[in-house]
Amino acid sequence: MQPPQNATVYIVDDDAGVREALAWLLRSRRLGSECFDSGQAFEARLQTGFTPQPPCCLLLDVRMPGLSGLALFEMLVERGLVDVMPVIFLTGHADVPTAVAMVKRGAFDFCEKPFSDNALVDRIEQAIARSAQVGQARREQQQLQARLAELTQRERDVMERIARGLPNKLIADELDISVRTVEVHRARVFDKMDVRSAVELANALRGV
């Protein structure tokens, strides 16, 4: 799997040796990284208004003094960041049950120390791919909302009925307008929503 060239892997670990080793490993695989020596440091970065942008992922040590990896993870869950920034826990053997519980809470995976470089990078690349998919879906949703905002109320009325599969005559009867007016609105809806058929329109609106 070839990861996106603009991907960033955030590393949060209080062990400088681990941070340096991971950063070197990622550079060898052409992956960018940014290191933090504590949960507080990463939290402070978020407090500045920084929002992780896909494609990215987070390597998070479970046990750290001060703000633990688990506490930081809960903060990320509350802020809705674990979808766009998948979290891979770095854990010791004793922490495996806790890491498994965090996966059930939405973490992407966990990697037990000492970890296999190849296995870890494989999971990182998969996490980055997930992040890229989430980012693309969010961009498409934003584009859809922008298109919907361009519709007049009458166009929305016609669109909703087109999506339900109603023919022009029934739409005209329901809205008490002429069939010709429905045809005009239909053409405008298709143009503004960037679709070519009622099926495409219905599929686009499923995410609304």
- CA neighbor of 56 nearest in space, from 95, 82, 92: 82
Mean pLDDT of 127-136: 94
Range 113-129 average pLDDT: 92
Q: Is the pLDDT of residue 3 over 90?
A: no
The structure tokens 């969010």 sit at: 138
Per-residue pLDDT, 85:
97
Give counts: helices (H), strands (E), the chain.
9, 5
What 8-state DSSP symbol labels residue 11? E
Q: What is the pLDDT of residue 2?
A: 55
Across 62-91, average pLDDT: 94
Retrieve residue 154's tokens: 């009458």
SS3 114: coil
Which pLDDT band holds residue 166 (cuts at 50, 70, 90)? very high
Give tens-digit pLDDT for 147-161. 999 999 999 999 999
